[in-house]
Amino acid sequence: MKAIEKSKGIDLEILFEALEVALISAYKRNFQTAGNVRVNVDRETGEIKVYTQLKVVQEVEQPQQEIELYEARVYDSRCQPGDLIEREVARQEFGRIAAQTAKQVIIQRIREAERELIYKDYLERIDDIITGTVRRFEYRHAIVDLGRAEGILPREEQLPRERYRMNERIKAIIMEVRKSSKGPQIILSRNHTGFLKRLFELEVPEIYDGIVEIKAAAREPGFRAKLAVHSVNEDVDPVGACVGPRGSRVQAISSELRGERIDVIRWSEDPEQYLANALSPARVVSVELDERAALIIVPDDQLSLAIGKEGQNARLAAKITGYKIDIYSQTQIAQERLSSLGLGDDSAEATPETAEPSMAELLAFGGEKPAAGSLPENEAGEPDSAAKPAGVETEEPQAEAPEANEAVEPETEKRAEGEMEEPESAEPAEGGDGEAEE
Structural domain boundaries in the chain: 2-119, 128-183, 192-267, 277-342
For the residues of 315-364, what is the DSSP string, one character each?
HHHHHHH--EEEEEEHHHHHHHHHHHTT-SSTTSPPPTTTPPP-HHHHHH
**Strand blocks (E) in 58-126:** 66-68, 84-89
Considering the domain 128-183 in this protein, what is its CATH number?
2.40.50.140
Same fold, 192-267 and 277-342: yes
The CA-based angle 428-429-435, given to 5 degrees, is 75
Architecture of domain 277-342: 2-Layer Sandwich (3.30)
Predicted confidence band at 368 (pLDDT cuts at 50, 70, 90)?
Answer: very low
The mean pLDDT of 183-209, rounded to a whole number, is 93
Calculate the average pLDDT of the chain. Answer: 77
The mean pLDDT of 154-175, rounded to a whole number, is 92
Predicted confidence band at 90 (pLDDT cuts at 50, 70, 90)?
Answer: low
Q: Would you give the end-to-end CA distance of the chain in angstroms?
A: 152
Higher local confidence (pLDDT), 149 or 385: 149
Q: How many residues does the structure list for the chain?
A: 438
Using a CB cutoff of 8 Å and minimum separation of 24, what contacts does 42-49 make?
A: 43/16, 46/1, 48/19, 48/23, 48/91, 49/88
pLDDT above 50 (res 378):
no
pLDDT above 80 (res 161):
yes
Query: What share of the chain in percent tops pLDDT 90?
Result: 42
Pair type for strands 212-220 and 169-178: unpaired
The mean pLDDT of 178-206, rounded to a whole number, is 92
Q: Which residues, listed in sequence order, are joined to residue 64 by a DSSP beta bridge?
A: none
CB 231 within 8 A of CB 237: yes
Identify whether 281 is preceded by a cis peptide bond (ω within 30 of 0). yes
The mean pLDDT of 130-159, rounded to a whole number, is 92
* Fold entry, domain 192-267: GMP Synthetase; Chain A, domain 3 (3.30.300)
Which CATH number among 3.90.76.10, 3.40.1160.10, 1.10.3680.10, 3.30.1480.10 corresponds to the domain 2-119? 3.30.1480.10
Confidence at residue 379, expressed as pLDDT on a 0 to 100 scale: 44
CA distance 27 to 98: 7
Question: Starting from the edge strand earliest in sequence, which strands make up the sheet with 212-220, in order?
Answer: 212-220, 224-231, 261-266
Query: What share of the chain in percent tops pLDDT 70?
Result: 76
Which residues in 192-203 are b (16+ Cβ under 10 Å) and which e?
bbbbbbbbbbeb
**Strand blocks (E) in 205-303:** 212-220, 224-231, 261-266, 286-290, 293-298
CA distance 101 to 95: 10
Predicted confidence band at 388 (pLDDT cuts at 50, 70, 90)?
Answer: very low
Confidence at residue 329, expressed as pLDDT on a 0 to 100 scale: 92
pLDDT above 90 (res 395):
no
pLDDT above 90 (res 171):
yes
CA distance 115 to 346: 77
The predicted-structure confidence for 310-354, as pLDDT tens digits, reads as follows 999 999 999 999 999 999 999 998 888 888 887 755 444 434 444
The CA-based angle 64-65-70, given to 5 degrees, is 95
Confidence at residue 112, expressed as pLDDT on a 0 to 100 scale: 87
CA atoms within 13 A on the CB side of 92: 0
Going by C-alpha positions, the residue among 121, 257, 137 that lies closest to residue 189 is: 257
